[in-house]
Structure 1
């Protein structure tokens, strides 16, 4: 495939095994930034708030001396917008201030933790929202998107996520159909959707104007199937190696890129290979090979 010039390739802390602001099992942030730059990426998504420095001047300096730029900020760890919305909004504002200060325009909202515990496998709430819960999700997502747009000049990119109430193709399409396109668009996570057997190119083609940002990764279909069969939490599946280095899994990357190439939009495509926890020496070679593979298919 020829180079797709309107898609910009980046990566993020998740591809180095970072899920939390502070965890001794995670790569220290200076090493992450060094290795991100060393593996050939120039665009960065910030990851969990507090992992990287939160002082805008300090972070700008750290990125600049490595020739890195910010593609977007990440809200994660506060749960979904369908409950405790005051807390969700307050945490989102902190990320929004930092993201805007770095000159980025994308705010990726990752609704975790979801309905079950990654460690214990226990369900915190039903896997399907009640009608009132779904309406709260829609209303609060619209509000969040409007606040980000009007007060910070940012665009909300909602991230479907395994073990959250927007994880399947049907749920994702319903979410897009019912939210306000002025304020809410999708962070299309190819791996999470494939994990729940979605047709990713079909979603892109059905909602071309709502694809605002992309997390590109693949999943091992055998582990995904086992997770369903054994009623296994997503975190456990990841620890077993569910998220795989392309082109070893699903969805088919060239098919996804073909659909993205049809869009008339500048998009960031950010590698987000879930690897928590991971030995500190593993991410760099994987990230380098992943960039090389994605370059070879047009990114």
Structure 2
């Protein structure tokens, strides 16, 4: 595949489907009400989300946790080819899917490698059927600072993660899919040092990087420096802004993602160096896609238009 930006063409814009998870956009009172409604109405969820994407001029989708996940798309449309046709009718396509969900095998369990591989292969098969080639995942979360016994992200730990990544990356490569690692806050792939160590331990033929400008900044890192160091391994990037680095020790449990939200910002309103980031991204294999990440936007069409405007200005 020839990426548009490196061929001298404008990149495509994409977004994570979580952009459409704000209950107010659906006329609902709460996140629980939104989840309950989408379980009963998966086709209506997808129809409105796709219409909003087309209205915003954003043509790419990254699938994520429910309701914007693979299983939801299959319930709504019956098959991957049918989902692909529905998207194509609006000028849209899937660019990537995130390994997410409560049923995902845990990478910390040393005895479940077959389950990890089978789960990744199932997702990769779906991606191949919808014409996408990027399976995005992350490394396990850290433990809350001060937990006893302590959990160290050391060379031994990262070597185990690299070993698993190689097996999974090779398995999905057989389906024409790249395994891409996202830099999530409070995970074991967060700090610049984590990223450098994991990249050093993994084979660039089978393991790719998805740097997230916001999350790297939240860890006190320099997103542009990370992108420059690992430019040839970046198959995709998440464009997202940060208010400031996280300056407290968060409790790492099921609420950690909500705890991180106050540190995140709309594109152009935070601390990320967007011209520097855009320049670094233009030199990567993933230059053809600009994935704007907006969590639960109350007005997703307006938010996507504003985000793409910031990205276009930076790219110019």
Distance 1:37 1:123 in 2: 47
Q: What 5-or-longer segments of structure 2 have no aligned partner? A: 23-30, 39-44
Q: Does 1:207 align with 2:230?
A: yes
Q: Give the deviation of 1:139 after TM superposition.
A: 0.1
Contact 2:208 2:233 in 1 (8 A): yes
Structure 2 residue matching 1:180: 3-state secondary structure:
coil
Indicate the residue corresponding to 1:45 in structure 2.
62
Deviations 1:172-206 (A, max 9, x none): 01100110111001011111111101111111222
Say if 1:267 and 1:257 are closer, same or farther in 2 by CA, change over 3 A.
same
- Counterpart of 1:15 in structure 2 is 19
Query: Who is 2:213 aligned against?
Result: 190
Q: Which moved more, 1:175-184 or 1:196-205?
A: 196-205
In structure 2, the CA distance between the partners of 1:180 and 1:68, relative to structure 1 (3 Å rule), is same
Pick from 193, 201, 205 the counterpart of residue 170 of structure 1: 193
1:221-240 correspondence runs (5 A): 221=244, 224-225=245-246, 228-233=247-252, 234-239=256-261
Structure 1 unaligned blocks of 5 or more? none
TM-score (norm 1): 0.82
Higher relative contact order at CA 8 Å, sep ≥6: structure 1 or structure 2?
1
| Structure 1 residues 9 and 124: CA distance shift in structure 2, 3 A | farther
Residue of structure 2 in register with 1:36 after alignment: 53
Instruction: Tell me, in whole angstroms, the C-alpha distance in 2 between the residues paired with 1:132 and 1:60.
Output: 42
Determine the C-alpha separation between the residues in 2 that align with 1:250 and 1:52. 35
Structural mapping, 1:55-204, within 5 Å: 55-77=79-101, 78=104, 81-83=107-109, 84-111=112-139, 114-115=141-142, 128-129=152-153, 131-150=155-174, 152-204=175-227
Counterpart of 1:41 in 2: which secondary structure? coil
Q: What is aligned with 2:265?
A: 244
Q: Among residues 16, 19, 34, which one is paired with 1:25 in the alignment?
A: 34
- CA separation in 2, counterparts of 1:66 and 1:162? 34
2:221 pairs with 1:217: no
Q: Is the 8 A contact 2:12 2:58 kept in 1?
A: no
Aligned pair count reads 280
- Relative to the length of structure 2, the TM-score reads 0.78
2:277 counterpart (256, 260, 264): 256
Aligned match of 2:26: none
Alpha-carbon distance between aligned partners in 2 of 1:16 and 1:32, rounded to the nearest angstrom: 7
Asked if structure 2 preserves the Cα contact closer than 8 Å seen for 1:10 and 1:43, the reply is yes
Say if 1:25 and 1:266 are closer, same or farther in 2 by CA, change over 3 A.
same
Provide the C-alpha distance between the structure 1 equivalents of 2:225 and 2:292, rounded to a whole number of angstroms.
Answer: 20
CA distance in 1, matches of 2:63, 2:284: 25
State the distance in 1 between where 2:275 and 2:106 align. Answer: 31
Q: CA deviation at 1:168?
A: 0.5
Q: 1:190 to 1:57 in 2, by over 3 A?
A: same
The separation in 1 between residues aligned to 2:224 and 2:137, in whole angstroms, is: 21
Verify: 1:274 aligned to 2:295, yes or no.
yes
Q: Which residue of 1 aligns with 2:27?
A: none
Deviations 1:181-238 (A, max 9, x none): 11001011111111101111111222221111111101111xx43xx32535541334
